Structure 1
Amino acid sequence: MGQFLMSDITLHKRLLDHLRTAVIMLDEALCVRYLNPAAEMLLATSASRALDQPLPDYFFDDEEARLAIQQCIDEEHPFTQREARLSVAPGHEIVVDYSVSPINDPGQPLCLLMEMQSLDRLLRIGREEALIHAHQATRALVRGVAHEIKNPLGGIRGAAQLLERALPSPDLTEYTRVIIDEADRLRSVADRMLGPRKPPEFRAVNVHECLEHVRQLLLAEYPKGIAIWRDYDISLPDVIADRDQLIQVLLNLIRNASQALLESQTPEPRITMRTRVLRQFTIGAQRHRLVLRMDIIDNGPGITEEVQETMFYPMVSGRANGTGLGLSIAQSIISQHQGLIECESQPGQTVFSILLPMEQLDETNTA
Structure 2
Amino acid sequence: VGATVSDHDMTLECPRINKQGLTVQGSPLLGEAGSVILVLQDASAARSLDRQLGFRSAARSVAGMAAILAHEVKNPLSGIRGAAQLLEASVHPDDRELTVLIRDEADRIRALVDRMEVFGEKPVTFAPVNIHRVLEHVRRLAQSGFAENVRFAEVYDPSLPPVLGNRDQLVQVLLNLVKNASEATDGTGEITLTTAYQQGVRLAVAGSNARVDLPLVVAVRDNGPGISDDIRPHLFDPFVTSKPSGSGLGLALVAKIVADHGGLIEVDSRPGRTEFRLHLAMHTDDGASQI
State the TM bucket, normalised to the shorter chain.
0.7 to 0.9
TM-score (norm. length: structure 2): 0.76
* Residue identity opposite 1:354 in structure 2: L
C-alpha distance in structure 2 between counterparts of 1:163 and 1:312, whole Å: 36
The aligned counterpart of 2:190 is 270
Unmatched runs of 5 consecutive residues or more in structure 2:
1-7, 27-34
Query: 1:329-350: CA deviations, max 9, x gaps?
Result: 1111122211122111112211
Match of 1:186 among 102, 105, 109: 109
* Residue identity opposite 2:289 in structure 1: L
Q: Does 1:294 pair with 2:218?
A: yes
Match of 2:10 among 79, 83, 105: 83
C-alpha distance in structure 2 between counterparts of 1:85 and 1:162, whole Å: 63
Structure 1 residue 317: deviation in Å?
0.7
Structure 1 residue 327: deviation in Å?
0.6
The aligned counterpart of 2:252 is 328
Match of 2:55 among 121, 128, 135: 135
The aligned counterpart of 1:41 is none
* 1:126–1:284 contact (8 Å) kept in structure 2: no
C-alpha distance in structure 1 between counterparts of 2:204 and 2:240, whole Å: 23
Q: Does 1:361 pair with 2:284?
A: no
Alignment of 1:190-229 (within 5 A): 190-195=113-118, 199-221=123-145, 225-229=149-153
* 2:220–2:277 contact (8 Å) kept in structure 1: yes
Structure 1 residue 233: deviation in Å?
1.1
Q: Does 1:239 pair with 2:163?
A: yes
Alignment of 1:65-104 (within 5 A): 83-87=10-14, 89-91=16-18, 93=20, 95=22, 97=24
* 2:264–2:279 contact (8 Å) kept in structure 1: yes
The aligned counterpart of 2:32 is none
* Residue identity opposite 1:232 in structure 2: Y
Structure 1 residue 250: deviation in Å?
0.5
Query: 1:61-80: CA deviations, max 9, x gaps?
Result: xxxxxxxxxxxxxxxxxxxx
Larger radius of gyration between Structure 1 and Structure 2: 1
Q: Does 1:126 pair with 2:46?
A: yes
C-alpha distance in structure 2 between counterparts of 1:338 and 1:346, whole Å: 27
Q: Which moved more, 1:303-312 or 1:134-143?
A: 134-143
Structure 1 residue 190: deviation in Å?
0.8
Higher helix share: 1
Residue-pair matches, total: 265
Query: 1:228-263: CA deviations, max 9, x gaps?
Result: 111111111112211111111101101101110127
* Residue identity opposite 1:272 in structure 2: T
* Residue identity opposite 2:258 in structure 1: I
* 2:80–2:106 contact (8 Å) kept in structure 1: no
Q: Which moved more, 1:217-226 or 1:299-308?
A: 217-226
Residues 178 and 157 from structure 1, CA distance in 2 versus in 1: closer, same or farther, beyond 3 angstroms? farther
Query: 1:165-224: CA deviations, max 9, x gaps?
Result: 6x7x81179566654543332121011012266533322110011111112222333676
Residues 298 and 181 from structure 1, CA distance in 2 versus in 1: closer, same or farther, beyond 3 angstroms? closer
C-alpha distance in structure 2 between counterparts of 1:143 and 1:223, whole Å: 31
* 1:337–1:361 contact (8 Å) kept in structure 2: no
Match of 1:309 among 194, 216, 233: 233
The aligned counterpart of 1:347 is 271
* 1:302–1:350 contact (8 Å) kept in structure 2: yes
Residues 91 and 209 from structure 1, CA distance in 2 versus in 1: closer, same or farther, beyond 3 angstroms? same
Could you say what secondary structure the match of 2:231 adopts? helix
Could you say what secondary structure the match of 2:242 adopts? coil
Residues 156 and 318 from structure 1, CA distance in 2 versus in 1: closer, same or farther, beyond 3 angstroms? closer
C-alpha distance in structure 2 between counterparts of 1:91 and 1:255, whole Å: 28
C-alpha distance in structure 1 between counterparts of 2:232 and 2:150, whole Å: 24
Residues 320 and 98 from structure 1, CA distance in 2 versus in 1: closer, same or farther, beyond 3 angstroms? same
C-alpha distance in structure 1 between counterparts of 2:203 and 2:130, whole Å: 21
CA RMSD of aligned residues (A): 3.4
% identical equivalent positions = 32
* 2:226–2:273 contact (8 Å) kept in structure 1: yes
* Residue identity opposite 2:14 in structure 1: S
C-alpha distance in structure 1 between counterparts of 2:22 and 2:83, whole Å: 65
C-alpha distance in structure 2 between counterparts of 1:160 and 1:217, whole Å: 32
Could you say what secondary structure the match of 1:271 adopts? strand
C-alpha distance in structure 2 between counterparts of 1:88 and 1:285, whole Å: 37
Query: 1:25-47: CA deviations, max 9, x gaps?
Result: xxxxxxxxxxxxxxxxxxxxxxx
Unmatched runs of 5 consecutive residues or more in structure 1:
1-80, 100-112
Structure 1 residue 309: deviation in Å?
0.8
